[in-house]
Amino acid sequence: RHILHADLDASYAAVEQLDNPDLRGKPVLVGGTSGRQRSGGHGFVRSPRVRRPFGNAHENAVRLCPQGIIVRPRFQRYRELSKQVMDIFRSFTPLVEPLSLDEAYLDITERVQADNRAPLRWALRLKSQVSLETGLTVSVGAATSKSVAKIASDIRKPDGLVVVEPGDERAFLEPLGRDRYGVLAKDAEKLGGSGRDRNVGQLAQQTKEWHTRQFGKSASASRPRPWVRTGTK
């Protein structure tokens, strides 16, 4: 299979900068109340001083980016642009699996097989079309599975593109830190600071029984989700 994971970069903050030119090039935190007043909720940050856009608990976002301009969220506007982006995705393939307002999986296997174009060309075309039609940037990972494509899309944010060729999955995953492979903070605490477990390759060498002891029965579970053909634009 040929799978893309497409993820808009700091989408809420990016939309605010798109709609308000005065915010462009400035650190923006979406959440709480406008201005510089701090409050609860979630923060979505886009800042030239922060290494990469991110979503975080509001209080953590403020701590990491204290100079940020806080903007109230406009979810109706985000939903409008989300629909536009998802329509673009569906113009590429009917096999689209949205994960949230700003990210989705696309199965482009039929497209690749039909015209013999490499996934890289489809990914570049997707990024270009999203940017042209919405003004937003999207990071894309291409791989033979959803999980690898999702990790790949996160490697070079913002506006990134990483293609993992068939057969290169192990070489791509093994050097990555455990945080890249969905090991949550509470699970990382169980692993401790042992060098034996510091990257994906070393974790992969452990037995299924070891993972079950560390993380519970769900560690060895597999619950694939079926693709649903949603139609094209």
Number of H helices, E strands in the chain: 10, 9
Catalytically annotated residues: 103
Question: In 3-state terms, what secondary structure has residue 154?
Answer: helix
Calpha distance 104→8 (Å, rounded): 9
- Beta strands 96-100 and 103-107, pairing class: antiparallel
Residues near 187 by beta carbon (within 8 Å), at least 6 away in sequence: 214, 215
Q: Are 169 and 148 in contact (CB under 8 A)?
A: yes
